[in-house]
């Protein structure tokens, strides 16, 4: 069972099976979620939710654009 250190709390994280790039793992100690970014050596980075659509970045239709 591969073991690495949690970037959030520095406790050991054990990963069942063979880790793969992009796999999400959760630290049992702090509850933070991480993504496997390297398997040799085993490294984790903070997992971020991707925006599901571009609506979060659109300007409201009622807002006018500034002229420069």
**Which of 18, 19, 67 is closest to 45 using CA atoms?**
19
Q: Note whether 35 and 56 are within 8 A (CB).
A: no
Q: What share of the chain has pLDDT > 70, as a percent?
A: 72
Boundaries of every domain in the chain:
3-49
Fold of 3-49: Rubrerythrin, domain 2 (2.20.28)
- DSSP assignment of 28-48 equals TTT--EEEEEEETTEEEEE--
Element at 12 (helix H, strand E) = strand 12-14
pLDDT digits (tens, 9 = 90+) for 4-33: 999 999 999 999 999 999 999 999 999 999
pLDDT value at 53 more than 60: no
Is residue 49 very low, low, confident or very high in pLDDT (cuts 50, 70, 90)? confident
pLDDT at 56 (0 to 100): 55
pLDDT digits (tens, 9 = 90+) for 29-42: 999 999 999 999 99
Element at 13 (helix H, strand E) = strand 12-14
């Amino acid at each position: 069972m591969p073991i690495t250190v949690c970037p959030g709390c520095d406790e050991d994280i054990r990963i069942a099976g063979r880790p793969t790039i992009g796999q999400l793992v959760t630290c049992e100690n702090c509850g933070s979620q991480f993504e496997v970014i390297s398997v040799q050596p085993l490294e984790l980075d903070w997992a971020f939710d991707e925006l599901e659509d571009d609506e979060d970045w659109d300007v409201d239709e009622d807002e006018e654009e500034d002229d420069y």
